[in-house]
Amino acid sequence: MAFAPLDPVLHNQLRLAIVSLLVGVEEADFNHLLTHTGATRGNLSVQIGKLKDAGYILVTKGMRGKYPNTKCRLTAEGLHAFEVYVQAIRGYLGRG
Amino acid sequence: MDAPMTPEQSLRVIERMIDQAKQSFSRLSFYFLLWGVLLTLAMTATHVLADEAQALRYGAPWAVAGLLGGALSSWYGSRQSRKEQVLNPMDRIIHWLWASFVIALLLVLFTTLLAGGDPAVPITLMTGIPTFLTGQIMRFRPLVWGGMLFWAAGVAMQLAPDPGTRAAVYCAAMMLGYIVPGILLMRKENGLRPA
């Protein structure tokens, strides 16, 4: 039986956590992702960059008061990739 | 978080994060507590002081409560939106649910008053709708029960033999439908998010 290959962009714990968080909301800022993933700032920045480069998330940088504020939003491509990934995982687990 | 994952681990990450996202609602307890207290005071003032001054009979306490509540809600809402870390589609639904309730409430209020009627019963019945639905959307039982309580209170007020009983039922509904769920929600919000 052939298994569907897993998307290497999503098959990483932190990147998968970021995308899973964004699936349930319209938009989340960097601090929200930091709190809920438990990642370090540096690692979170790197993984957000990789998701952005893959076209899975849209990143907007602005200011909140005096402080810089980074907001992330899942793109249609990111949502599709997530759905395909979940389907593949379900196949591996025999739930597909 | 960079170690290779098994499919089970992937699924657990997805489930855990989606569960966390579901809990990311805006803080709403302030509104229930604010309006619960203001409207209870307005009803109490209207009933207890009705014989003291004509303005009280003609709804001055309700106007004061409405203006004060509207101003404080706007101030709190704009302050919260500047602090919000996440934009949740459920927050947007809850926002428009209450906005549409306020529009309908004002229309019922004015049309009923113009016709010389008492809007207390229809407004109490209507209050149950957004309260009940907010509870369902947030999966927060005290608000669901609060919404149903407003419906029961509206019926009880319609059948009440005198204005005193009607006022008491309204105040009890505000206490149990807004204030108590508001306190419980505030405790839940404080538990979910660090201050």
Question: Which residue type does B85 have?
Answer: Q
Measure B91 CA to nearest chain A CA, in Å: 10
Asked if A17 lies within 8 A of B13 by C-beta distance, the reply is yes
Reported confidence tier of residue B82, pLDDT bands at 50, 70, 90: confident
Q: What is the ipTM of this complex?
A: 0.79
Report which of residues B116 and B156 the model is more confident about.
B156
- State which residue of chain B sits closest to A23, comparing Cα positions: B18
pLDDT in tens, A6-58: 899 999 999 999 999 999 888 999 998 998 898 999 999 999 999 999 999 99
Alpha helices in chain B (DSSP H): 7-22, 29-48, 54-57, 60-83, 89-114, 120-138, 141-159, 163-174, 180-192
| C-alpha of A8 from chain center | 12
Q: Which two tokens stand for residue B100?
A: 């549409």
Report which of residues B176 and B45 the model is more confident about.
B176
What average pLDDT does this structure show over B58-66?
Answer: 85
Which of B12, B18, B20 to mutate to probe the A interface, most A CBs <10 Å?
B20
User: Which CATH number applies to A13-92?
Assistant: 1.10.10.10
User: Is the pLDDT at B192 greater than 70, yes or no?
Assistant: no
User: Is the pLDDT at B58 greater than 80, yes or no?
Assistant: no
pLDDT in tens, A47-93: 999 999 999 999 999 887 788 889 999 999 999 999 999 999 888 88
Contacts of A11 in chain B (CB under 8 A): 5, 10
Domains of chain A, by residue range, sit at 13-92
Query: How confident is the model at residue A24, as a pLDDT?
Result: 81
